[in-house]
Amino acid sequence: MATKAPVLICPAMNVNMYNNAVVKENISRLTAMGYLFMVPGYGELACKAEGYGRLPEIPDIVEEVESILTPKDLRGEKILVTAGPTREPFDPVRYITNYSSGKMGYALAIAAKRRGAHVTLISGPTALPTPRDMTFIPVASAVDMRDAVMEHLDSATVVIKAAAVADYRPSSRSARKIKKGGDGLDLQLERNPDIILEVGRKKGNRILVGFAVETENLVENARNKLKKKNMDIIVANDVTKEGAGFGYDTNIIKIISADGKIENVPLMGKMEVADRILDKVKKIITGRQSAPRRRPALRDK
């Protein structure tokens, strides 16, 4: 009661106690006074009863604290993030994919959520835990990802395409496991939809952030992609550098804006990198809000 800091209460008790009318009323009164509560976890309780009453998982409590302490400068924004790799199957047990772990895209989704945005995360298959407090849509192939992005595009104010989408998929998919035979196996590939190109064509007032993985001519190639696909920002990763790109917990990037400006972000954790990218997005939003409105043209008398 002495602290001026926000107070987060994580209840842990017997399920009947948690559902007791007195406890419920006290939680409501404290909530009305500004105290914050987490819903307890479900499962077997210390007293062997089953139900809601477990102390929330520690990583979830830590995430809740991070969220509470982060200024909400993206409140009101609806941010659609894509993350992870896509899988392009050619028989029931095999597929083509890439090395994306999803860490960069998940960091962006979590950072945007902490900053108050409503986040939709469309994710290819990853080993990461599903982030809390956002709409999470798991997909597998590039075609699935395209359909999910187009379905949720209307409501988005910002689209961030951090997913590593496979450019090609096998032209056919065998219903049975392809058996070994001969010395080699020819796989015929066909183009996948270019999701960001399609979003760029329909983007309206949305802010569109793309990524570029390059192994040579980083800036030039990234700038070409930005222009061709109507992006506002492109984040260029030089994946030849140690600590940058696929799989690492860190990244080294260049944030290139449509006006040609480049911000060099040195090696740092992907959560911090995500905040740098979101700072750029916020700057565009603020710039648009403070741009003088054009006066209506005077009519000829």
For the segment 94-113, give every residue that binds ligand PMT (CB under 6 A). 100-104
Task: Let me know: does 246 contact 239? Beta carbons within 8 Å.
Answer: yes
- The correct pick among 213, 226, 233, 256 for binding ligand PMT (CB under 6 A) is 213
| Location of structure tokens 């077997």 | 44
Q: Considering beta carbons, is residue 54 or 87 the nearer one to ligand PMT?
A: 87
- Residue from 46, 47, 68, 197 carrying the catalytic annotation: 47
Q: Considering beta carbons, is residue 86 or 157 the nearer one to ligand PMT?
A: 86
DSSP code for 167: S
Q: Considering beta carbons, is residue 142 or 207 the nearer one to ligand PMT?
A: 142
- The correct pick among 109, 112, 196, 256 for binding ligand PMT (CB under 6 A) is 196
Task: Let me know: does 188 contact 172? Beta carbons within 8 Å.
Answer: yes
In the three-class reduction of DSSP (H, G, I as helix; E, B as strand; rest coil), residue 289 is classed as helix
For the segment 253-292, give every residue that binds ligand PMT (CB under 6 A). none
Q: How far is the CB of 3 from ligand PMT (least distance, A)?
A: 37
For the beta carbon of residue 194, count every other beta carbon within 10 angstroms: 15
For position 80 contacting ligand PMT by CB under 6 A, the verdict is no
Q: How far is the CB of 77 from ligand PMT (least distance, A)?
A: 19
Q: Choose the stretch contacting ligand PMT; rule: CB under 6 A; options: 20-28, 41-49, 150-158, 191-199.
A: 191-199
Distances from the Cα of 88 to the Cαs of 93, 104, 166, 171, 278, in angstroms? 11, 21, 8, 10, 31
Strands 207-214 and 233-238: parallel
Is residue 10 annotated as a catalytic residue, yes or no? no
Distances from the Cα of 264 to the Cαs of 118, 165, 230, 252, 258, in angstroms? 28, 25, 22, 8, 15
For position 123 contacting ligand PMT by CB under 6 A, the verdict is no
Which residues belong to the active site? Answer: 47
